[in-house]
Amino acid sequence: MVHLRIVAPEGAAEPALELLQGSGSVSNVIVLEGAARKPAGDVILCDVAREDASVIIDDLRELGIPEHGSIAMEFVDTEISDAADQAVEHAQGLASDAVIWEDVERRSEEMTELSLTFMAFMVLSMLIAAVGIFLDQPILIVGAMVIGPEFGPLAGLCVAVVEKRPGLVRRSLLALGLGFPIGIVVTVIVTVALNGVGLVPDGFDPREHPLTNFISQPDFFSFFVALIAGTVGVVSLTSAKSSALVGVLISVTTIPAAANVGVAAALEAWSVTGGAAAQLGINLAAIVLAGVGVLYLQRRFYLRRRRRHRSDPVREAAGLPMGRSPKSVVLGSPPSDARTQR
């Protein structure tokens, strides 16, 4: 279940209540009249089946609630209620397969922030991977994969492409376009410094580190694993099974490949530099390809569900237009004000 806290401005509370009370996917509707002060309005609390959460939120956006009020959402781990069970049964599909697009959108925006923390994780994860290459230790490579924050902007790019949001595309590309080059440059500088003071292990050859050579030797399986990892990563982002994301991070070699580019360039092993750069490019392309494909299919299923919902009589009771409407809500765009349509 998803718990909603709605601050409904004057004139929007009654239609919102009609909508929530009439929907079979909503339970535990509570009204606190005049409880909100900033912004002023009524506070409405309710629980919505996860499968229909985005559909109901879209209806509330059509009522114009976010323009002068607010909609807050939090997930309910456990709820003991026959009414809630009936709401879940009313909603079609399975909760584990449901995508709450507002949550996906919010998390994508957060993960694409080009912050000092993001840059620090990019640099530090590459330095750990560099040490793993020096020592030929796969465990350090795995650690670098887990620490690396690059999947956030990659996921944000996938969401932006599917939702046609150029602003988020630019933010995602900026994070990737600065994160990887800066991390590689720092790795080059650190490698040169370590080599200059004799701390690079004796006999280290960028072309010969058997346990970690796969980082700079791309093949079909590099693409295949990255494609699967990108698919799993986006599914974990859009579903309730976010724990699978750790496995995704360990499956792709973006950070180690970028680190190997820096190490090999610093030691002038240009053939290895080219192989590692190719590995990095293959991984990035496969993840984005898989992510866009999965999100596109999920978005098509949601839009079909949304079209069916537009014929639900509960919308008419709330004063919302029936059938297809040119003013239907699209994520990333300003909500329309249904009050002007009545």
* Half-sphere exposure in the Cβ direction for 178 (13 Å, CA): 14
Longest dimension (CA), the chain: 78
The model's pLDDT over 35-74, given as tens digits with 9 standing for 90+, comes to: 999 999 999 999 999 999 999 999 999 999 999 999 999 9
Each as own residue / partner, the long-range contacts of residues 338-342 (CB below 8 Å, 24 or more positions apart, any chain) are 338/15, 338/62, 338/63, 338/64, 339/11, 339/12, 339/63, 339/64
pLDDT at 260: 96
The identity of residue 57, as a single letter, is I
Cα 298 from chain centroid (whole Å): 13
Q: Enumerate residues 6+ apart whose C-beta is below 8 A from 258.
A: 126, 129, 180, 183, 184, 187, 276, 280
> What are the residues facing 8 on neighbouring strands?
42
The DSSP secondary-structure symbol of 93 reads S
Bigger pLDDT: 282 vs 332 = 282
The Cα–Cα gap between 338 and 342 comes to 7
Tell me what percent of the residues of the chain surpass a pLDDT of 70.
91
pLDDT at 247: 56
Q: Read out DSSP for 273-327?
A: HHHHHHHHHHHHHHHHHHHHHHHHHHHHHHHHHHHHHTT-HHHHHTTPPPS--TT
Chain mean pLDDT for the chain: 88
Give the burial class of 33: count Cβ atoms within 10 A of its Cβ; 0-12 exposed, 13-18 middle, 19 or more buried.
Answer: exposed
Select from 8, 98, 340, 313 the least CA-distant residue to 326: 340
31: tokens are: 């009204």
The Cα–Cα gap between 221 and 119 comes to 29
Q: Read out DSSP for 240-264?
A: S-GGGHHHHHHH--HHHHHHHHHHH
Averaged pLDDT for residues 182-196: 96
The model's pLDDT over 220-253, given as tens digits with 9 standing for 90+, comes to: 999 999 999 889 888 888 876 655 555 566 667 8
Q: Note whether 283 and 222 are within 8 A (CB).
A: yes
CA angle (313, 318, 324) in 5-degree steps: 60
pLDDT at 342 over 70: no
Q: Note whether 262 and 188 are within 8 A (CB).
A: yes
Q: Dihedrals φ, ψ of 45, to 5°?
A: -115, 140
The Cα–Cα gap between 328 and 179 comes to 37
Boundaries of every domain in the chain: 2-98+310-340, 104-301
Intra-chain end-to-end CA distance of the chain, in Å: 31
Q: Read out DSSP for 100-141?
A: -HHHHHHHHHHHT---HHHHHHHHHHHHHHHHHHHHT-HHHH
The model's pLDDT over 68-95, given as tens digits with 9 standing for 90+, comes to: 999 999 998 888 999 999 999 988 888 7
Any idea which fold 2-98+310-340 has? Alpha-Beta Plaits (3.30.70)
- Indicate the range of 1-10, 72-81, 99-108, 313-322 predicted with least confidence: 313-322
Dihedral angle sign, alpha carbons of residues 7, 298, 155, 75: positive
pLDDT at 138 over 70: yes
Averaged pLDDT for residues 160-180: 94
- Indicate the range of 65-69, 127-131, 146-150, 246-250 predicted with least confidence: 246-250
> What are the residues facing 30 on neighbouring strands?
45
pLDDT at 250: 65
The model's pLDDT over 292-338, given as tens digits with 9 standing for 90+, comes to: 999 999 999 999 989 888 888 888 888 888 875 434 443 344 433 33
Select from 289, 335, 286, 332 the least CA-distant residue to 109: 332
pLDDT at 339: 36
- Indicate the range of 44-48, 102-106, 109-113, 333-337 predicted with least confidence: 333-337
For the whole model, what pTM was predicted?
Answer: 0.83
